Every structure is written in C-alpha cells, then in structure tokens.
Structure 1
Amino acid sequence: MTPEQQKKQNLRLALILATIVAAFFIGFIVRMVYFGG
C-alpha cells in the first residue's frame, strides 16, 4: 500500500467516525429537546 492510499483510507475512516459521532450528538440534542432534558 502506498502512502497515498494509506492517507485516503485514513481520511475515509476519519469521515466515518465523524459521521457516527455527529449522528449520536444530533440524536442526543433531539432527545433533550423532545423530552425536555
């Protein structure tokens, strides 16, 4: 695997993790709003 491929794979992994974190965070905020915390 070339360093370029490694970088692309790392970027994709970071994007996936960021998306998961964002989804959890948004879900938490929605729950706080709907159920009054």
Structure 2
Amino acid sequence: MTPEQRRRNKIAGLVLLAFVIAVFAWTVLRGSSMLAGSAIN
C-alpha cells in the first residue's frame, strides 16, 4: 500500500466512523424522545 492509498483509507474510515456515530446518536435521541412521549401519554 502506498502512503496515498493509506491516507485515502484513513479518510474513508473516519468518514464512515462519523456517519455511524451520527446515526447512533440520532437513534438514541429519537428513542429517548419517543420513550418520554409515550411516558407522558
């Protein structure tokens, strides 16, 4: 692997990681708000 390929893979990995964290956070926030809503109702 050339340094260029390694750098591209690192960037791709960071983008993928950020995407996974964003989806996870969104799911947790939505789930907690849904739980709170059902608790009130």
- Aligned-pair distance for 1:16? 0.9
When the two chains are superposed, the root-mean-square deviation of aligned CA atoms in Å is 0.7
Question: What letter matches 1:17 in structure 2?
Answer: L
Unaligned residue ranges in structure 1 (runs of 5+): none
Of the two structures, which has the highest relative contact order with CA contacts closer than 8 Å and spacing of 6 or more?
A: 1
Q: How many residues were matched structurally?
A: 36
CA distance in 2, matches of 1:33, 1:26: 11
Q: Which runs of 5+ in 2 are unaligned?
A: 37-41
TM-score (norm 1): 0.82
CA distance in 2, matches of 1:4, 1:16: 18
